[in-house]
Amino acid sequence: MAKSTRKRSRRASHQPTANRFLGDALSLASTFADSRKAASADRIGELASAAREFGVSLNDFPQLRRYGDQAAGSLDDLADYVAKTDIPDMLDDFVGFAMRRPVATLTLGVATGLAFTQLAYGWPLPMRRLRTTSNGNVKRSHRRKPVN
């Protein structure tokens, strides 16, 4: 019986340290996330400006220009939302959206994964590797199938 009391007291003595460590880690993560949030809002604003400029260049296509302006307006709204909303509130909003529209959430997740993969590995993916020979000419390397 005495051993179980000692084990509980040891756990209890480590609990405040663990809680402090967790609190410090969450505080650090929150500070980092807030700084990244501001940078993300700036990037979204830059993307909105680029969409707006692209729309201006489409004078011959008024319908496409309207789409560009609508996209720029939506991106501006998103940038404002990211800049003004706390991260826990954003997560709550995302959970609510995911519960209301699971198919849209799945589609968004797949699209985000594909975009991230393309950004991580470079776009477009090389179909063939190019090598230069000793005289500076470019030689395409082809994989050969093994002969059985």
pLDDT digits (tens, 9 = 90+) for 57-111: 888 888 888 888 898 999 999 999 989 988 888 888 988 999 999 999 999 999 9
Q: How far apart are CA 115 and CA 108, in angstroms?
A: 10
And the tokens for 19? 């809680």
Which value, to the nearest 10 degrees, does the dihedral of the CA atoms of residues 38, 39, 44, 49 take?
110
Reported as a single tens digit per residue, the pLDDT across 33-56 is 777 888 888 898 998 998 888 888
Q: How far apart are CA 126 and CA 138, in angstroms?
A: 15
And the tokens for 148? 């059985």
First CA to last CA across the chain, in angstroms?
Answer: 72
Amino acid identity of residue 103, one-letter, is V
Question: How deeply is 114 buried, as exposed, middle or buried, from its count of CB atoms within 10 A (0-12, 13-18, 19+)?
Answer: exposed
And the tokens for 130? 């190019």
Q: How far apart are CA 86 and CA 24, in angstroms?
A: 18
pTM above 0.75? no
Q: How confident is the model at residue 14 (pLDDT cuts 50, 70, 90)?
A: low
Instruction: List the beta bridge partners of residue 140.
Output: 130
Nearest CA to 47 out of 148, 102, 126, 115 is that of 115
Give me the residue spans of the domains in the chain: 86-121
Q: How far apart are CA 30 and CA 88, in angstroms?
A: 10
